[in-house]
Amino acid sequence: MSYRTDLTDAQWHALRPHLPANPKRGRPFAEHRRVINGILWRIKLGAPWRDIPERYGPWRTCHDRLSRWERDNTWLRILQVLQGVADRQGQINWEGASIDSTHLRAHRSAVGARKQSLQNDSRAVIAGEWLGHSRGGRTTKLHLCADGNARPLSVVLSEGQRADGPFLLPVLKAIRVPRAAKGRPRSRPPVIRVDRAYGARVYRRLVQARGIRFVCPEREDAKRYRREKGTHGGRPPAFDPEAYKGRNVVERAVNRLKDFRAIATRYEKRGRNFMAVVLVACLVLWL
């Protein structure tokens, strides 16, 4: 009997062709569908790994699969392949792309990762564990770009106290949607909608230099500065209020991701494992 968090038959048939085959040497993978359903059960409910029901197999198999496929970028590759399939079918609304961020509260069990284990993970040394301090305590910040259908095109993690603006370009660069023919992946939506947190002139210029239309209301401090300068303050930046109305898609994408309780509250000590949790939730939204 299937559980409500399990993949449906339609989702499984869409996902199955893109999963890794058994290695030529060593032990073969445990049944993919059972293990992935176990991972989804835990991510959706936010329960401890050890509480995964026996019908999904050993809990350690589910945890190791999540971690292993993050280390070799399997989760990211599957997500990008699913995005490429959707793009070829005309299901990605590039015109409605928007960027925003959200704070994710960290549970006390997410604190206290052993620093010694970082020596064998070069990405963790560079990126840290994405666990920072903010007014609400320990938090991680999730930056994402969503298409017009409220599905994530890219995700980036940072410490909770980091500002939004510096991650505007990294979020855009993380968009890598494969094309049907050979060539570079599609990475530039024609328009981006953002709120005032990204309204600094430097970010506006960076986005426009990539040939992307930048829809963002002018910041209040920028308005005061321009008015104080009088005729030397220059013209206000172009702003389309009608186009800006579509920015709510990224907030809807955030809400859909936070339906997974292991994302709404971070329980993973390791930043790479938490990124895997986010990627698994993202690819489910594309199925």
**Mean pLDDT, residues 257-275 taken together:** 94
Residue-wise burial string across 235-254, b where 16 or more C-beta atoms lie within 10 A, e elsewhere: eebeeeeeebebbebbeebb
Residue 45 domain-assigned (yes or no): no
The residue segments making up the domain with residue 180 are 92-270
In this structure, of 29-43, 104-118, 204-218, the range with the lowest mean pLDDT score is: 104-118
Mean pLDDT (the chain, rounded): 87
Residue 87 domain-assigned (yes or no): no
Spell out the alpha helix ranges (H) of 143-231.
Answer: 168-173, 201-209, 220-229
Number of H helices, E strands in the chain: 12, 7
Structural domain count of the chain = 1
Residue 283 domain-assigned (yes or no): no
Residue 28 domain-assigned (yes or no): no
Report residue 44's pLDDT band, with 50, 70 and 90 as the boundaries.
very high
Between 265 and 136, the more confident residue is: 265
Helix (H) or strand (E) holding 111: none
CATH of the domain at 220: 3.30.420
Report residue 264's pLDDT band, with 50, 70 and 90 as the boundaries.
very high
Quick check: 275 and 157 in contact, CB under 8 A?
yes
Both tokens assigned to 51: 């509480």
**Mean pLDDT, residues 232-237 taken together:** 64
Residue 223 one-letter amino acid? K
Question: What's the predicted TM-score (pTM) here?
Answer: 0.89
Report residue 134's pLDDT band, with 50, 70 and 90 as the boundaries.
confident
Determine the pLDDT at residue 127: 47
Residue 84 domain-assigned (yes or no): no
Collapsed DSSP state (helix, strand, coil) of residue 128: coil
Residue 129 domain-assigned (yes or no): yes
Report residue 255's pLDDT band, with 50, 70 and 90 as the boundaries.
very high
Residue 96 domain-assigned (yes or no): yes
Residue 41 domain-assigned (yes or no): no
At residue 17, what are phi and psi to the nearest 5 degrees? Answer: -65, -15
Both tokens assigned to 276: 């895997």
Q: Could you identify the residue written with the tokens 């990762």?
A: 113
